[in-house]
Amino acid sequence: MNVGSMVVALGERRTRLAVYVAVVVVLSLALGFQAVTAGGTTTTTSDDGRWTPTSTPGDATGTTNGSTDSSATDSAVDRTGVLVTVQSYGGFGQNNGRAVVVNDGGVVWSFAPEDSRVFDAEMLENGHVLVSYATALPASECPERTLEYKDDRCVRNNVVELDYETKDEVWAYRWYDAFITHHEVHDADRLPNGETAIVDMGNDRAFVVNESKDVVWNWSAREHIGPGSDFWEKYGGPERPRPESDWTHMNDIDQLADGDFSLSIRNFDVVLEVNRSTKEIERVVGEVRGGKDVEGREPILDDQHNPMWVSSEHVLVADSEADRIVEVNASTQAVVWSYGDGLLWPRDADRLPNGNTLVTNSLRYEVEEVTPDGEVVWRYRVAWNGKRGIPYEADRVQLPEEPDGMPTLGDRASDAATTSGASTSTGTAAPEATGAPSETAAPQATGSDGGSGAGSDAGGSAAGDDGSGGGVVERLAGYAYLYLPFWVGGVELALVGVGVLVGVVAVLDGVAFAIGRFRDVNA
């Protein structure tokens, strides 16, 4: 049949009707097939996510430095997998978060505290798990002082050490605050001496408690970086709360090898190194948002999360609002490695012993392991009960939360590769180059496995590797996917789109036909 005769045939109303029906049937079958195959290709234990069975994370072959992962051998706990925290599933306002361990194709452990958002978890040397989560409470369970701001609810922050097998609480530290959206605990770390370091964004402070729950160290942001402080004099900073009505949004604490603390001050766009004894700020990584040192330029970090010091000089940071991961030389501010392919609001990045990086890609609802060259070698898609979940952070179970001496990728390139401008380190380093942070940083990421569904194709094309690709449309698409069934991805949306289009044409056709008949009858 040639094109001409096809057009003539379509002129027949009956043929057109058959075509409409055929298209809808084919699309429905295709969608049904997607729904059935997308859900359970690999996991038998639950419907929690699809597993890309390329390899066990960290065991990937083909990494450029060729090293193998030996971390499992020196672990105190003979367990493997990735520990992922999920703040909530199926929506931002939900209080149904979990901590899960994924391994061999599915979820092998999960902890789901009631009415809570889960932000941080780490496997401890003793085999227990330390989980930080925020519980939404009705007014009847709230201390009076928390109801001053909002009289019908509050948040209880929980830092809880659990027995892995029984999930019994072995130890816990708790406090109440007003809002679950910006007064909730985002990070707590068990220190080698048994103390626990915690960030408290509701009170703009970091503190350390001992086993008896006495506060043995306290660092107040107001005192050290607020108006009147030396820091404020030198850099300035944001005076007004934003965007969730909090000031610093302090979201991460780590103890470094020399005992100093690393603090992530999200709303200032900086990571601070603070001397534990003197409480002085020893180093500033990043540039203060709106501060004196940026002079109208974009700071090199933008609402960062979960910095990990891979060496005493290099820090790996989830540069969240820039939709990229960066490894930064802390003294020169040079971005020595960056990766942003397909990332939308990444909030954690951990360097692994084999040189790969474990990335928590929050608004794409997945955790992935990427090689230094940007090839995705492992991916876990986060979902529960058919809904996508928003991961907050991920750790390799076999590794300490902040392992010392991980491979730095800056060694592969010149540390002087890039910088966005003035150094904010307290040392002597000077800017070495100008230009966009990742313009010349090497090696650049290229790969993505292009899997279907909620993965890298979820919001359209992947973000550029400089992180600049996460535009408004991608953001909105990212949010929308959270509210759609897990099996709906880019392919499914396209099928629905074609179906809707054909449906509209069929209806218009029907209306035209009816009007024609009406006219014929009344002629």
Ligand X SMILES: O=[N+]([O-])c1ccc(OS(=O)(=O)O)cc1
Report in angstroms how near the CB of residue 252 gets to ligand X at its nearest: 10
Distance, CA of 166 to CA of 67 (rounded, Å): 36
CB closer to ligand X, 180 vs 284: 180
Of 25-33, 150-158, 180-188, 285-293, the window that binds ligand X (rule: CB under 6 A) is: 180-188
Q: Does 364 bind ligand X (CB under 6 A)?
A: no
C-alpha angle 74-79-80 in degrees, rounded to nearest 5: 95
Q: Provide the β-strand partners of residue 174.
A: 158
Q: Tell the burial category of 391 from Cβ atoms under 10 Å away from its Cβ (0-12, 13-18, 19+).
A: buried
Q: Provide the β-strand partners of residue 89.
A: 389
CB closer to ligand X, 50 vs 324: 324
Position of tokens 């100008």? 434
Phi, psi of 270 (to 5 degrees): -135, 155
CB closer to ligand X, 180 vs 265: 180
Q: Does 267 bind ligand X (CB under 6 A)?
A: no
CB closer to ligand X, 347 vs 351: 347
Residues 325-354 that bind ligand X (CB under 6 A): 347
Number of H-type helices and E-type strands within the chain: 6, 26
Of 7-15, 69-77, 178-186, 397-405, the window that binds ligand X (rule: CB under 6 A) is: 178-186
Of 45-53, 244-252, 401-409, 474-482, the window that binds ligand X (rule: CB under 6 A) is: 244-252
Report in angstroms how near the CB of residue 404 gets to ligand X at its nearest: 26
CB closer to ligand X, 111 vs 345: 345
Report in angstroms how near the CB of residue 297 gets to ligand X at its nearest: 22
Distance, CA of 278 to CA of 162 (rounded, Å): 33
Distance, CA of 184 to CA of 118 (rounded, Å): 10
Taking a C-beta distance cutoff of 8 angstroms, is the pair 140, 147 a contact? Answer: no
CB closer to ligand X, 181 vs 452: 181
Q: Does 181 bind ligand X (CB under 6 A)?
A: yes
Print the binding letters for residues 480-499 with ligand X: x by CB under 6 A, - otherwise.
--------------------
- Among 343, 345, 387, CA closest to 368: 343
The single residue among 251, 306, 360, 424 that binds ligand X, judged by CB under 6 A, is 251
CB closer to ligand X, 87 vs 418: 87
The single residue among 87, 157, 332, 456 that binds ligand X, judged by CB under 6 A, is 87
Report in angstroms how near the CB of residue 345 gets to ligand X at its nearest: 8
- Among 251, 446, 252, CA closest to 342: 446
Of 148-156, 243-251, 441-449, 463-471, the window that binds ligand X (rule: CB under 6 A) is: 243-251
Taking a C-beta distance cutoff of 8 angstroms, is the pair 249, 201 a contact? Answer: yes
- Token pair listed for 347: 């909030």
The single residue among 180, 221, 325, 370 that binds ligand X, judged by CB under 6 A, is 180
CB closer to ligand X, 106 vs 307: 307
Position of tokens 């234990």? 45
Q: Does 360 bind ligand X (CB under 6 A)?
A: no
Distance, CA of 4 to CA of 443 (rounded, Å): 54
Report in angstroms how near the CB of residue 325 gets to ligand X at its nearest: 15
The single residue among 117, 224, 364, 388 that binds ligand X, judged by CB under 6 A, is 117
Residues 47-76 that bind ligand X (CB under 6 A): none
Q: How many angstroms separate the Cα of 13 from the Cα of each of 41, 264, 444, 510, 513? A: 42, 66, 56, 9, 9
Report in angstroms how near the CB of residue 502 gets to ligand X at its nearest: 40
Q: How many residues bind ligand X (CB under 6 A)?
A: 10
Distance, CA of 227 to CA of 37 (rounded, Å): 57
Query: Please, which residues have CB within 8 angstroms of residue 136's CB and are 6 or more apart in sequence?
Result: 95, 115, 116, 117, 153, 155, 180
Interface residues with ligand X (CB under 6 A) are 87, 117, 180-181, 186, 244, 249, 251, 266, 347
